[in-house]
Structures are given as structure tokens and as C-alpha cells.
Amino acid sequence: MARNIIHMAVPMTVAQLINILYNVVDRMYLGRLPGHLALTGLGLCLPIISILMGFANLCGMGGAPLCSIHRGRGETDEAERIMGNSFTLLILFGLSLTGLCLAFRRPILYLFGASDLTFPYANDYLTIYILGTVFVMVGLGMNPFINSQGFSRMGMMTVTVGAVVNIVLDPIFIFGMGMGVRGAALATVISQGCSAVWVLRFLTGRRAILRLRLSALRLHAGRVKRILSLGSSGFAMSMTNSLVQVLCNATLQAWGGELYVGVMTVINSIREVISMPVQGITNGCQPVLGYNYGAGEYRRVRQGIRFTTALTMAYSLVVWLLVLLFPEFLIRTFNNEPDLIAAGIPAFRIYFATFFCMSFQFIGQSVFVGLGRSRQAVFFSLLRKAFIVAPLTLLLPALGLGVDGVFLAEPISNVVGGLACLLTMYAVVYRPLGKMKS
């Protein structure tokens, strides 16, 4: 089990890191523009981008584990139909979201914390980014179906292609052609288009075990319900992340102004980078756990859970120590403005005070999703962000903590929500599996 998980997790972890690299590279380049308004404007778009990714995860992370379970049972035809239905849903969501976001982007951005100073930057980036929504849906939403078939290296190449294109085009468009934030958005859209083409070519080609066929695209109510039910965990996580980002930006705007919105943009960027290996490991275990669970190999499922937990915790503890020791170095990766660095270092240490506990959430979530337990997965997605972080983000600043209260909400939620998720997974999944015969 350890070898199988590593075989899946290493390429997926590399893919996750590359994916984050090409998501944050825009922020790294825009952070080099004079001042911090361009970076802050991009930060205001992140909740909307998180929502779009949430819809991609709704279908991809919902359908791919089901495919693994049906493959484990030898039901290849049903696995292909689940993949086809997921693709149709992704296209429908992509087209609908494109129209809605274009029509209401101005009120949405002001609702999410934009000011008259930051709105032009946010609007320029978002308008172009939205036009590539279908590419996001296909590239991000269908890539899990490559990984679920055991082609993790090919899945890694999906994001590698997009990352290379984005990294090459960003400086050309932003600085060479003087397009600023619009150039960053255009480079991202083109790179996402390349990733989408890569995914479709593989899933319709001869190498794929499960192929994307026209006969499987017609929606079936039962399959759609199962896909959306299981995918609602990843969707809830993205939506609650978006909610928290909105609340943080609005609260920071009220208590500290644009400077602290910029600080939160940098912190979120660093968090995405350092948490990606954890997501890569836990996502990599899901196809292995799902396949063995579908095949009735419960002893091997328990082995996989133990190995994933140990590996994830070891990484989290090492990174937790590093980020607390070198905050200024990490912040300067995105911005060299003295006022942003001065405000960012104490905020950084508060936000990441209990980072290692975040791995508890990822471990529990991955097991619930991998074994098709949608109810528990959705509940714990909502618990940490919607029921702990969001209320604390509003309450703690009002109790006299000011901007520090916004950053303090995250470490509290890591401990409470993370432990609740991990302990519940142990009680309702890991222990009962030990009593079942393989």
C-alpha cells in the first residue's frame, strides 16, 4: 500500500506544486509592480477564483473516486458513464458561471471588499480570467479522472504544460507588452486552455483505460446525484474558503485598509504553496483507498490510512517550523514594500501558529472522500471554515484584537476543526474496518 500510494502521491504532489506555482506566479510578478494596489486587486479576485475551482472540484473530486470504486469492482462501463456525466456537468457549469460573473462582476467585487482604488485592478484581471472559465472546468475537473486510472505522471503533465506556458507568458504580457494585471490574466487563460486540451487528448486517446465517449455524456439523474453528493465535500471546502476570504478582506479593509488586504493576499499565496504537498499526498491516497475498498481489501485500506497519516504529519511538522523561523524571506518572495513586510511578519506568525494541525483535516477528508462517505466529508468541510473561522473573523476584531483577530481565527480552527475531523475518521472508519473481513 505504501508503494502504491507513493506511486500516486509523488506525481500528484509535484502536479499540485506546479499548479500552485502557476496560480501564484501572477501574484509574484504583480507584487513587483510599484506599490501594492495591483497585488491587492488580484487578492480581491481570489474568492471568485476559489468559487470557480469549487465547481470544478464538485464534478472532478466527486466523479473520480466513484470511478476508482467501480474499477475495483470490475464495472468499467459504469465508470466511463460517471466520467462522461462529470464532463457534461463541467461544461454546463462553466458556461453558466461565465455569463453570471461577467454580468455581476462589479457589485460582486465591491461586496468582496474592493474600494475605488483597488477596483480597476481587480476588474481588469477578473474580466479576462472569467472568459477562460470553461478551460478551468475541463482542465481542473477532468484531470482527477486521469489520476484515478493510475496515470499520475500524465496527470502531472496536465498542470506542467499549463505552468510552463503561464510562466513564460507572464513577464512578456505584464512587463514586455505593458499590460499589467490584464497581461497576467491573459497568460493564465491561455495556459488553462493548454491544460484543457491536454486532458481531452489523453482521455479520448488509446492509452486511457476509461475513455471519454459521446455515448456516456448524456446525463442520468442517479449518476449526477452520486457525483454531486460525493463532490460536495470539495465544493463545500472551496466555497467556505471563498466565504472566509471575503470576510477577511472586508474585515481587514475596515480595520486596516488596503495594506492588510495585501498582507492577506501574500499569506494566502504562501499557505497554498506549503499546503499543496499535503493535498498531493492525501489526494494521491484516494484512488488507492477507493480501489481497495471496492475490492473488499479492508486490511490494505487500513494500511493506507496509517501510512498517509504518518507521512502527512511528518511533512507538516517540518514545514511548520520553517515558516515560523523565516517569515520575512517568504514574504519578500511576493513583495518588497517595507510597510507590507512590517505589517506582514507579525500577521504571518499568528496565522501559521498551528499550521501542522491543518493536516488533520486533510487526512480525515481524504479518507471520507476516497471511501465515498459524502456526509462526513461535507460536514467537516463546513465545520472548520463556516462554523469556526467565519464567526471568529467577525468576532475577534470587535473584541479588541483588531486586525490580529482576523489572522488568529485560522490557527484556532486548525486545532478544533482538524482534531474533530481526524478523531471522527478514526472512530467511524478506521476502527470498524478492522472488524471487517477482507
pLDDT digits over 212-261, tens only? 888 889 999 989 998 988 888 768 777 877 888 888 888 988 888 888 88
Tens of pLDDT, residue by residue over 268-299, are: 888 888 887 888 788 778 778 877 887 788 88
Q: Which three cell numbers stand for residue 36?
A: 501594492
Please give the mean pLDDT across all residues of the chain. 85
The pLDDT assigned to 128 comes to 93
pLDDT band at 435 (very low <50, low <70, confident <90, very high): confident
Tens of pLDDT, residue by residue over 64-119, are: 888 888 887 888 888 889 999 999 999 999 999 999 999 999 998 888 878 888 89
* Alpha-carbon span 33 to 13, nearest angstrom: 31
Q: Please enumerate in sequence order all residues whose Cβ is within 8 A of that of 113, keeping only pairs 6 or more positions apart, or say none.
A: 44, 246, 249, 250, 252, 253, 261
When pLDDT is averaged across residues 177-185 and rounded to a whole number, the result is 87
| Buried residues in 112-137 as b, exposed as e (16+ CB within 10 A) | bbbbeebeebbbbbbbbbbebbbbbb
3-state secondary structure 162-202: HHHHHHHHHHHHHHHCCCCHHHHHHHHHHHHHHHHHHHHHH
Q: CB count, 10 Å around CB of 434?
A: 10
The pLDDT assigned to 110 comes to 87
Among 150, 182, 142, which residue's Cα sits nearest to residue 9? 150
Among 175, 164, 179, 169, which residue's Cα sits nearest to residue 125? 179
Tens of pLDDT, residue by residue over 127-166, are: 999 999 999 899 888 988 888 787 877 877 887 888 888 8
Residue type, 28: M
* Alpha-carbon span 57 to 86, nearest angstrom: 10
Residue type, 234: G
Beta carbons of 88 and 219 less than 8 angstroms apart = yes
* Alpha-carbon span 419 to 45, nearest angstrom: 31
pTM of this structure: 0.69
- Of the chain, the percentage scoring pLDDT greater than 70 comes to 92
pLDDT band at 8 (very low <50, low <70, confident <90, very high): low
